[in-house]
Structure formats: structure tokens, C-alpha cells
Amino acid sequence: IHSDKWCVRYRAELEDKYNRRLAITTELKRALASQQNELSMVYQPKIDLVTMKVCSMEALIRWNSSALGFVPPDEFITIAEQAGLIEQVTSWVMKQTISDLAYFREKGYDFTVAMNLSTQDIQNKVLLSNLVSLLTEKGLSPDALELEITESDLVADASLAIENLNELTARGFHFAIDDFGTGYSSLAYLKNLPVKTIKIDKSFILSLASDENDQQIVHTVLSLAAVFNLKVVAEGVEDLASLTILKDWGCDVAQGYYISRPLKLADLEEWLQNTPF
């Protein structure tokens, strides 16, 4: 009896999950095809810990669905990958981000913009060559852009991903390894990849000021990164104490709510005018 009940509940849960997934797939397709502006980009500043000034902005997608309300990117990006929609999502992100990057340059800002790419994107030659064309159209150089990829993406299908990485690096693009510390790769492994930057995952940074384990991990990563000549970004910096530790230990760049939450373009311009950074 007990297991029957469990079974019913489990089936109901599966059904809920299935329905949610289906709704997201259907609505995302609609959002991509329509002109209703359900999708948008927000930008989160990163600061250089030597100059304490803004050096880059991470572009993050937002989806405010008329049918489903706000859907978090972690949720719909994963579903888009599985439903064969990620190419369309990334194409949309690329167009919007590069157009915003051109706007930042027009306004005289010289920070770089970091864009997130999914596993499948770095194996998609058409998509990547569109990226080059979009930049060329706007008269922008590839070094204005940073591409963030997760380490698991490289382990999954090493050969093609690495080939594309090398090709794009030769064209002047820069790659950063996102969520560093959550996957399997080591810094020694990264040495053989055309990667200049690692982003320490926010799970190690959020409680940095109070958690000795996190301090040990972050300190080790920073020392090793120095040996391998890698630039280190810490994400998830939520307080001054963590920021100070990172600065003292030679971390290069910080990003997090202490500096700013991700902002839409209009709010970002206002923030840039008033920030001490």
C-alpha cells in the first residue's frame, strides 16, 4: 500500500515535469518566432580588482513569458538544449548582445562583453561563423567579446569542441571556463586548451568570508592559476569581506551582487553614471 501511494505520487510528479517541459518548449518556440519582446538581455558588471573599475559585462538572457511568467534561464536553457532549440536561442542572444556591444562602444564605454555559449553551440560551425559575420557587420573586433563555456562541455565532446575553440582563438576570440570547480577538469588539463580565463563557481564564493573550506579551495585555485598564467574571475561576490579577500589573494576580476545585480540596458546606463567602480 505504501509503495502504491509512492508510485502514484511519483507518476504525478513525472507528469508535472513532463507538462512543464512541454509548456516551456511550446512557449519558447512561440517567443522566438514572435515580435513580442518576451526575451531580453541583462548585463552584470565585473570589476578589475587592481583598478577597482568596471572591465566587463556578462550578458545574461531573461524570459518573461506571457503564458508562464518569468522562467529562469537555468531551466529553459537546459530544455532548449534537449528540444533542439538552443541554436535559435543562441542566435537571438548573439544578435542582441552584439548590437548592445556596438551601442556601448558608440557611447564611449570600453569594457568587454561576455556571452554564454552552450555545449552544442561550440560544436556548431554555422552558428560560430555567424558570430564572426555579426561582429564584422558592426565593425567590432573579436577581442571585444569573451565567450564563457562550462568545463563539462569540453570533456563531453573534446575533439570537435577543441578544434572550434582553436579556430576561434586564432581569429582573436577569448574563452573563459565557467563554473570552474564543479566539473572534472584540472588546471593542468586546461593548460592544453586555448583558454585564458577561469571563473570560479559561485558556490565557492558565496560564503567565502566565513567558510574555511571555501577559503582553502579558492586560495589553492588562485595559486595554481598563477602558475599556469590564467586570469581568474570570481562570481557570486555578495559582500565586501569576500571582495577584500579576493583582492588580497590576487584574484583578477570580481562579479556579484555586491557590485551589482544584472541590469537591463536603461538601468545599466544609470548605474554606470553613479557607481564608484
Q: Judging by beta carbons within 10 Å of its beta carbon (0-12, 13-18, 19+), is residue 16 exposed, middle or buried?
A: exposed
97 binding Ca ion? (CB under 5 A) = no
Does residue 46 contact residue 58 with C-beta atoms inside 8 Å? Answer: yes
179 binding Ca ion? (CB under 5 A) = yes
Residue of the chain from 236, 252, 253, 254 that contacts ligand C2E (CB under 6 A):
236
Question: How many CA atoms does the CB half-sphere of 239 hold within 13 Å?
Answer: 9
x/- string (CB under 6 A) for ligand C2E, residues 244-273?
-----------xxx----x-----------
Stated length of the chain: 277
* Paired strand residues for 231: 197
The radius of gyration of the chain's CA atoms, rounded to the nearest angstrom, is 20
151 binding Ca ion? (CB under 5 A) = no
**What whole-number distance in Å separates Cα of residue 36 and Cα of residue 30?**
10
x/- string (CB under 6 A) for ligand C2E, residues 199-218?
---x----------------
Closest CA to 193 of 169, 172, 223: 169
260 binding Ca ion? (CB under 5 A) = no
**What whole-number distance in Å separates Cα of residue 205 and Cα of residue 226?**
18
27 binding ligand C2E? (CB under 6 A) = no
Residue with Cβ nearer ligand C2E (65 or 255): 255
How many residues contact ligand C2E, by CB under 6 A? 23
110 binds, among Ca ion, ligand C2E, none (CB under 5 to 8 A by kind): none
Binding site for Ca ion (CB under 5 A): 116, 148, 178-179
Binding site for ligand C2E (CB under 6 A): 44, 60-61, 72-74, 77, 93, 116-118, 148, 178-179, 202, 235-238, 255-257, 262
